[in-house]
Amino acid sequence: MNILDKHSTSKLLLFSLITAIFIIYPNITWLPWELSLVEETKRTHYLLLFGFRYAFYTAFILLLIKINLQKIKTLSFQKRFGYNALISIGAYAIYGGTAFLIDAKVRHFGSLVLFQFLIVCILDSLIGYIYLLFIEQRKKEQEIEQLKIENLQSRYDALTNQINPHFFFNSLNGLTSLIRKKNDGITLTYVNKLSDVFRYILQSDKKGLVTLEEELEFVNSFRYMMEVRFANKLEYNIDVDPKIQSTKLPVLSILPLLDNIVVHNMIDSDHKMTVSIYLNDNKELVVSNPIYPKLSLPATNGTGLKNLENRFSLLMNKQIRVENNGSIFSVYLPLK
């Protein structure tokens, strides 16, 4: 924040003009009475001296404020006041000497003048001290905010990195199965789709939020791989209005859900799996599937949904919802 830019300097000048009026207020109240005591021929001269006093105080206040805001960096109020006191003594001497040259008969070093310089010194010291405290507080807040951002990014990176090994293992299993069947055409298309999927995953560390359209394009590549792997036993029913596809969600939000369906359910001729992806009335993306639990528990660490919850909390400050009624498992993803 640059308080000494052109716009702010004009405000400081206005502040100095107003403050100078308060400083010389006793002189203003005495002016009519003093003029009545001065010879008419010398009244102009006396008014010029009064104008000089006002102009000097205005310039002195403005100069001292700028010095406090720009030059004096100490957080010790005593030191700051000491610097301002030295400057004020010098200004006091310059004022008295100049006013004496203008009119030697007027008292220019009286107790009132000294008191006025003291008030200016204290006031500008306080202004500089409070401003520096404010700047230091802003710096600390910015540092804390930066640390929070870096911490969130580190946590997010750790969460997304946990996705890749799990999916990589399952994808290679599917590719191995195709190679054994020696179907070169399907295998080549599978490899191309796999490369699209991994390109998206590898680029995910550079992204936070992506559009729903990007996620669904990724799902289409993943969809082909899974449909090839499970033949006609697994299908995806995607029904999302194109008008809503510009909304955003964390990158790789759908992958762990689709991957979990394969990991936790039996998918065979007797248990054909239909995965539904659609929007509900609350504008949430719903990923739903029937439950066909495996006879033996899958060897997983159970972090998929937890990681997804954490990423939505970190990036969107929103929570996902999970529903399991025993026959249908549904996950509701809020959109932004």
Q: How confident is the model over 71-117, as pLDDT tens digits?
A: 888 888 888 888 888 888 888 888 878 777 776 555 555 677 888 88
319 contact partners, CB below 8 Å, separation of at least 6: 309, 312, 313, 334
> Is 275 within 8 Å of 258 (Cβ atoms)?
yes
- Residues 177 and 143 grouped into a single domain: no
- Residues 181 and 319 grouped into a single domain: yes
Cα angle for residues 301, 290, 334 (degrees, 5° grid): 70
Residue 301 has a pLDDT of 55
- Residues 173 and 302 grouped into a single domain: yes
- How do beta strands 273-279 and 234-239 pair? parallel
Residue 1 has a pLDDT of 46
Residue 319 lies in a domain: yes
Identify the CA nearest to 122 among candidates 158, 94, 82.
82
- Residues 229 and 143 grouped into a single domain: no
- Residues 222 and 315 grouped into a single domain: yes
- CA–CA distance from 245 to each of 43, 179, 214, 239, 252 (Å)? 81, 36, 8, 11, 15
Query: Could you say which of 93, 120, 152 is where a domain stops?
Result: 152
- Residues 179 and 81 grouped into a single domain: no
Print the domain residue range for 105. 6-152
- Residues 124 and 17 grouped into a single domain: yes
CATH number of the structural domain spanning residue 251: 3.30.565.10
Query: Could you say which of 103, 120, 152 is where a domain stops?
Result: 152
- Residues 171 and 118 grouped into a single domain: no
The pTM (predicted TM-score) of the whole model is 0.52
What is the rounded average pLDDT of the residues 263-283?
Answer: 89
Mean residue pLDDT of the chain comes to 79
- Residues 123 and 181 grouped into a single domain: no
Residue 1 lies in a domain: no
- Residues 225 and 110 grouped into a single domain: no
- Residues 217 and 139 grouped into a single domain: no
The yes-or-no verdict on residue 322 having pLDDT over 80 is yes
Query: Could you say which of 104, 121, 152 is where a domain stops?
Result: 152
Q: Which of 143-152, 291-300, 312-321 has the highest mean pLDDT?
A: 312-321
Residue 157 lies in a domain: no
Identify the CA nearest to 42 among candidates 84, 105, 117.
105
Identify the CA nearest to 160 among candidates 251, 99, 98.
251
Residue 265 lies in a domain: yes
Q: What pLDDT, in 10s, does the model give residues 196-217?
A: 877 877 776 667 788 999 889 8
Residue 201 lies in a domain: yes
Report how many domains make up the chain. 2
Residue 49 lies in a domain: yes
DSSP 206: G
- Residues 90 and 201 grouped into a single domain: no
User: Whole-angstrom Cα distance, residue 179 to residue 187?
Assistant: 7
Residue 321 has a pLDDT of 92
Residue 296 lies in a domain: yes
